[in-house]
Amino acid sequence: MAEEGTPGKSEEPPAPAPSSTPGKTLSVEVEELPKAIVRRVVKDKLSKLSSGGGEEEILVNKDALLAFSESTRIFIHYLSATANDICKESKRQTINADDVLKALEEIDFVEFVEPLKASLEEFRRRNEVKKSGVKGKETVKKRRIEDTPSKNGRKE
């Protein structure tokens, strides 16, 4: 499945998009990762590190949370740029999952690759289930319509 270059539907409330009038200076708002999610990931890890919350909770400074968000954002840029290069080397236009995995090896995050492959497999499997579930319902619908020809003489 390839994605279009133009912004289409978004799962998030629309954030300010860069103004792109040709010839003028771009005023770009920097997209940030949602603070609450970054915070959750950090806090969950910290509570595991502090022996499951048996000792007192480890707090996170506001500046530190920002630093986590920023670092992750730059990580995305770094990984994207690397994956993009790998993709172009193979004379393709669309960055795929494999490019990203190769990019991770390239930037020395090798330990990430195996768990990510497992995650990806899981994601693909769930998508398959969803797809076949939808197909199943449609088949049932069609059969029902055919069963009641008196309602409408239509055939699917």
Partner 1 sequence: MDQPPGHPVPPVIGVGVPYPTAGGAGPYQAYQNLFHQQQQQQQQQLQLFWADQYREIEQTTDFRNHSLPLARIKKIMKADEDVRMIAAEAPVVFARACEMFILELTHRSWAHAEENKRRTLQKNDIAAAISRTDVFDFLIDIVPREEGKEDVAHALGAPSGDPLSYYYVPK
Q: How far apart are CA 51 and CA 57, in angstroms?
A: 10
Sign of CA dihedral 131, 137, 141, 142: positive
Residues 112, 101 contacting (CB under 8 angstroms): no
Tokens read off for 152:
């409408």
Tokens read off for 95:
């960055």
Tokens read off for 60:
């996170």
From 78-86, 131-139, 141-149, span contacting partner 1 (CB under 8 A): 78-86
| Interactions with partner 1, residue window 56-75 (CB under 8 A) | 56-61, 63-64, 66-68, 70-75
Residue 25 touching partner 1 (CB under 8 A):
no
Residue 34 touching partner 1 (CB under 8 A):
yes
Name which position in 27, 76, 114, 136 contacts partner 1 (CB under 8 A).
76
Tokens read off for 83:
């994956």
Comparing CA positions, the residue from 123, 107, 52 lying closest to residue 115 is 123
CB of 135 to partner 1, least distance (A): 19
Contact footprint for partner 1 (CB under 8 A) = 1-5, 7, 10-12, 15, 18, 28, 30-31, 33-34, 37-38, 40-42, 45-46, 49, 56-61, 63-64, 66-68, 70-81, 83-84, 93-97, 99-101, 104, 107-109, 112, 115-116, 119-120, 122-124, 126
